[in-house]
Amino acid sequence: MNAPADTDLDADGRVSQQLVDAYRQDGFVRVRGVLDQGEIERFRAAAEDYLETHRAESLETGATFSQLVNVWRRDPTLRDLTLDRRLGRIAERLAGFPLRLWHDQMLVKEPHSDTATEFHQDRPYWPHAGDRLPLSAWIALVDVPPERGCMTFLPGTQHRTGLRSQDLHDAEDLFAADPSLRWAPRVTLPLRAGDCTFHSGYTGHMALPNRTGTARLAHVTIYIDADTAYSGAAHPVTDGLGLTPGSRLDGEDFPRPWA
- The residue type found at 26 is D
For 22, the enclosing helix (H) or strand (E) is: helix 17-26
For 38, the enclosing helix (H) or strand (E) is: helix 37-54
| Binding-residue pattern over the window 128 to 147 for ligand SIN, x denoting contact by CB under 6 A | --------x-----------
118 binds Ni ion, rule: CB under 5 A: no
107 binds ligand SIN, rule: CB under 6 A: yes
Q: Which does 207 bind (CB under 5 to 8 A by kind): Ni ion, ligand SIN, none?
A: ligand SIN
Nearest to 65, CA basis, from 103, 104, 111:
111
| Spatial contact of 136 and 207, defined as CB atoms under 8 Å apart | no
Q: Out of 92, 122, 195, 225, which residue is the one contacting Ni ion (CB under 5 A)?
A: 122
Q: What is the number of the residue whose Cβ is closest to ligand SIN?
A: 207
- Distance in Å, CB of 120 to Ni ion, minimum: 6
What gap in Å lies between CA 32 and CA 90, rounded to an integer? Answer: 12
Q: Out of 46, 99, 189, 218, which residue is the one contacting ligand SIN (CB under 6 A)?
A: 218
- Distance in Å, CB of 197 to Ni ion, minimum: 11
207 binds ligand SIN, rule: CB under 6 A: yes
User: Residue 259, Cβ neighbours under 10 Å: how many?
Assistant: 12
Strands 66-69 and 99-109: antiparallel
65 binds ligand SIN, rule: CB under 6 A: yes
- Distance in Å, CB of 101 to Ni ion, minimum: 17
What gap in Å lies between CA 210 and CA 111, rounded to an integer? Answer: 6
Contacts with ligand SIN, residue ranges (CB under 6 A): 65, 107, 117, 122, 136, 205, 207, 218
